[in-house]
Structures are given as C-alpha cells and as structure tokens.
Amino acid sequence: MRLIHRTNGTELSSPERDFLAIEGLPTAELRRLLDHAEQLLPAAVGDAPADERLRGRIVANLFFEDSTRTRVSFEIAARRLGAEVVNLSASGSSASKGETLVDTALNIEAMGVDTIVVRTSISGGAALVANAVRCPVINAGDGRHEHPTQALLDVLMLRLRLGDLTGKRVAVVGDIANSRVARSTTHALVALGAHAVIVGPPALVPMGFESIATGPGKITIHHDIEEIIRSIDAIMMLRVQMERAAGSGIAPDYRATYGLTTARRKLLREGVPILHPGPVNRGVEIDDEVADDPRDSVILAQVSCGVAARMAVLLRAVAR
C-alpha cells in the first residue's frame, strides 16, 4: 500500500524531474526538451495518433492565479499522453478558507497524484511546493519569478521561425519588471546564444536586468523601441501586469511610446515574427491589425507550441 508519510525530506522526489525554472537548467537539457517538444508537435495538435505513455497517471493542476492558455494546455497535454487530470483553483477550494499553498499541495499528493502543476502569485511558490512534496512539481508561473514552460514554447516557436537562435536578436517589449515570462524567456534566449533585446519604460525594467542570465548570448536594455525595431529578428510584446503593478495604471501614452502599432510595425524587417504570451490587451501593447496578421503574428501558433512543450515536460516529470 502506498501511503504518504513524510520523513524529514529524506525521501523527497528526484529534483531532476521537477521543472521549476529556466535559470540553472543545463543548456543540454533545455535543448533536449526543445527537440522533444518539436517531435511531439504533430501529436500535440492532433495530427498524429495519440500517445499513451502516461496512461494510468494523474496530473494535478493547482492553479491559484487566473489562467486560460497555461491551465488548458497542461490539461490537453496530459490527456494527449493518456493521463487523467484534476483541476483545483483558489475559489472553490480550501485556499479560500486560508489553507496554505504547501498544505494544499501535500493533501493533493496524499491522494496519490503523480505530479503537481502549480501556478501561484507567490514568487518562489513552486519551489516551496517542490521542497514539501515527493512527487515532481512543474512551475506554471510563480509570481514575478519564472514561467519556464512559457519560455520553452517561446523558444520553440522562435526556432521554428528562425532556425538556430545563435546571434538572433529577439526583442522583449513592455512590463519587464512584473513579467515572469520576460525573466524565463530571457534566460532561455541567453542560454541558446541569442541576444535578448529588452525594451521598456525605465520604471518597468529592473536595475541590473542586463546581468540576470549567464550563457553564450547577451542582454541589452533599451527604453526607445524605435532605436531597435529596424534591426531585430523577432519581437515579443508583453502585457502590462496590472495585477502586479504597484498601484499604478497604464500610462495614457503607453501605446504611443511602447505599443506595436500598425504604423510602427512597418519599421520591422520583412517577415519578422510577432509573439505575445497572451492574454493580449488589444489597443494597448499591440494593435488589432498587428495581432491578427495572418503571416507574421505567431500568437496562436505559440499556443499550439505550448501543448507540445508541456507534453515534453510532463513526460520528463512522470514517464517511467
């Protein structure tokens, strides 16, 4: 009988099955996951026969912050692999009665799940859960810290469009300070030898961001989008994270100064892919016409890549 009894951490799960951050992930492992995700793309979008490698496994989605794409794509990824999924959110669970994230995770684990996918507003919350439970833990976004599966899908998308990312200039534009996507994707870009061209208002780019990552690539910081827009290979627009902004609203001139407007888009080189992790604030960081461009907006293709990326991460966590 498999009963959970905690033993001072001595029987904790193998940390190599957790997926908590891109920072510190060996580059060879990042490349392996990307290659695997790329192979899984046809199955992810339903063009190849279902893969049953996770049949009989249970994936618990603990989403304590709102989510559309990430939660549903973890669920679809798990189902494509034959696993069963249970979903828990803050409202409707005992989190609303004050139960802590770690206690919730321990209780869900005690019911015998095989992996926990966690989204929380607590920066470092996924690692807190991983330190407490024995099953593998996957970070689906923890506060301002990291969103490692988003980074995987972003660089998968970029590789599909640009090939090898060595030396490629990828602009990441907007609310860098509050964005876990910006942090994770920057780590991945630098690890793969790309140039992360970070652009945002001075108040939304943290001090020292140019040295957050180590690797063959590099990071530069800019406050004027027009200074870089003619020379980049890809552009990722970010949503202003109103839920994290310290009481401030979106500046009325945000679109004019940092938005990818229809007029500004004309300054991009031919064929430069336009990315956005979603949810999109149309008419703020990106104009409708740009977001909906059938050739160069890859916003929905990113979502498809997300299913494949999460399949690769779930297999790494749970497959025997």
Distances (CA, A) of 80 to 2, 38, 148, 307, 317: 27, 15, 21, 9, 15
In angstroms, rounded to a whole number, what is the distance separating the alpha carbons of residues 221 and 244?
22
What residues are paired with 260 via a beta bridge? 286
The least distance separating ligand NCD from the CB of residue 278, rounded to whole angstroms, comes to 5
The least distance separating ligand NCD from the CB of residue 181, rounded to whole angstroms, comes to 5
The least distance separating ligand NCD from the CB of residue 9, rounded to whole angstroms, comes to 30
The least distance separating ligand NCD from the CB of residue 53, rounded to whole angstroms, comes to 25
Q: Does 125 bind ligand NCD (CB under 6 A)?
A: no
Q: Does 141 bind ligand NCD (CB under 6 A)?
A: yes
Comparing CB distances to ligand NCD, the nearer of 109 and 148 is 148
Distances (CA, A) of 101 to 10, 90, 118, 147: 21, 10, 9, 18
**Span interacting with ligand NCD, options 37-45, 47-55, 165-173, 277-285, rule CB under 6 A:** 277-285
In angstroms, rounded to a whole number, what is the distance separating the alpha carbons of residues 174 and 116?
31
Binding to ligand NCD, residues 37-76 (CB under 6 A): 69-70
The least distance separating ligand NCD from the CB of residue 76, rounded to whole angstroms, comes to 14
Q: For ligand NCD, which residue has the nearest CB? A: 239
CA atoms 206, 211, 233, 37: torsion sign = negative
Q: Collect all residues with Cβ–Cβ distance below 8 Å to 144 and sequence separation of at least 6.
A: 123, 177, 178, 179, 180, 183, 244
Q: Is 208 left (phi over 0), alpha (psi -120 to 50) or beta?
A: left
Q: Does 181 bind ligand NCD (CB under 6 A)?
A: yes
**Span interacting with ligand NCD, options 46-54, 98-106, 257-265, 275-283, rule CB under 6 A:** 275-283
- The DSSP-derived string for 75-106 is HHHHHHTT-EEEEEESTTSGGGGT--HHHHHH
Q: Does 187 bind ligand NCD (CB under 6 A)?
A: no
The least distance separating ligand NCD from the CB of residue 70, rounded to whole angstroms, comes to 4
Element (H, E) at 127: helix 125-132
Total residues contacting ligand NCD by CB under 6 A comes to 11
The least distance separating ligand NCD from the CB of residue 205, rounded to whole angstroms, comes to 16
In angstroms, rounded to a whole number, what is the distance separating the alpha carbons of residues 175 and 189?
18
218-222 and 195-199 beta bridge pairing: parallel
x-or-dash string of contact with ligand NCD, 10-29, rule CB under 6 A: --------------------
Minimal CA–CA distance to 37: which of 158, 125, 145? Answer: 158
Q: Which of 125, 148, 217, 278 binds ligand NCD (CB under 6 A)?
A: 278
Q: Does 244 bind ligand NCD (CB under 6 A)?
A: no
| Residue 11 tokens, joined | 């029987």
The least distance separating ligand NCD from the CB of residue 180, rounded to whole angstroms, comes to 5
Contact 267, 235 (CB under 8 A): no
Q: Which of 159, 180, 183, 316 binds ligand NCD (CB under 6 A)?
A: 180
Q: Which of 239, 255, 265, 316 binds ligand NCD (CB under 6 A)?
A: 239
Residue type, 244: R
The least distance separating ligand NCD from the CB of residue 212, rounded to whole angstroms, comes to 17
Q: Which residues bind ligand NCD (CB under 6 A)?
A: 69-70, 141, 147, 150, 180-181, 239, 277-279
